[in-house]
Amino acid sequence: MAGDSHKKTFLILTVFISIIAVGLTVAAFSTDNWVTFTGSKSNNTGCDKNISDDACTTYGSFGLFRGDNGINYYFGMRLRISQVICTDGWCTYYTVRTEETLDTEAGKDYIKNISSIYTETKDSGENVHEWEYGLFGFGYWVSILVMLSLGIVWGLVTISFTVFNIFGKPIETITGPLGLYLWNLLGLIFMSIGVILFAVLFQTNFAENVLPQNDYKYHTFRTESSLDYSFYFTVGSLVGFLLNLVLLMFSGYSVRCACTQEANKAIDNGIILY
């Protein structure tokens, strides 16, 4: 009995950790602080710092779907909003002034125009990159969303089956110890893939530039970016799944067929049908 109580204590801990892990990923989806940035004009012509401390500067942050930023071309800070819009295999954070309406169709037309310029420039032999035009791959972005979503799914499955193991008597191997290891391992794998994919996207597309192409090129703004707390929420979720696996190992829960135990109990109780 003491052994069963010891195991259940560890299972209860894994339930709480799984709830936290799922909550962190949901919070990451719903917050817009995956990347934060500040910047200024590399060519400060016309930028008189005596007029304003934020003359010719920019700042902002964005998440998986939208963002907020401000930019000062010298005429005062302009507040703007961004939204991820995708078409023709490309995505971008389409940006407008806060008093304007984010038009999806206008955003798609913008992507088509910018991607066409990027393709022509690349085909002409110039050494250009997607980030210079504020573009990133649609398939890559969707892969990040799918991996993180599957992390949430396996987290919920982990919670359900762990609670079942605490209060019930699983008779199938997959619903017993093997399942607990499997669900947590799957959660760890998918969360790890999602985190790594976004980290790579940041290094290849956002570390150099997060501004729309007209801000980056025509107004010569340059930004310094860093990963923000929404991203680290997913890292915390990943650690949660890993911690669950460690707790399962220390709990004494071995991977064995639960149905064998139930059959032995039936024999011990003399419940045998001839």
Domain segments of the chain: what residues? 2-264
Give this prediction's pTM.
0.85
Q: What confidence score (pLDDT) does residue 194 get?
A: 97
* CATH class of segment(s) 2-264: mainly alpha
CA angle 96, 98, 104 (to 5 degrees): 45
- What pLDDT sits at residue 112? 94
Residue bearing tokens 């997607």: 130
pLDDT in tens, 94-121: 999 998 888 999 999 999 999 999 999 8
Question: Who's near 95: CB < 8 A, 6+ residues apart?
Answer: 69, 80, 81, 82, 212
Tens of pLDDT, residue by residue over 9-18, are: 888 899 999 9
DSSP 8-state assignment for residue 169: -
- Token pair 């220390």 is found at 250
CB 35 within 8 A of CB 227: yes
Catalogue the E-assigned strands of 125-167. 136-137
Q: What is the pLDDT of residue 171?
A: 61
Burial class (CB in 10 A: 0-12, 13-18, 19+), 47: middle
Residues of the chain where predicted confidence (pLDDT) is lower than 50: 1-2, 257-268, 270-274
pLDDT score recorded for residue 239: 96
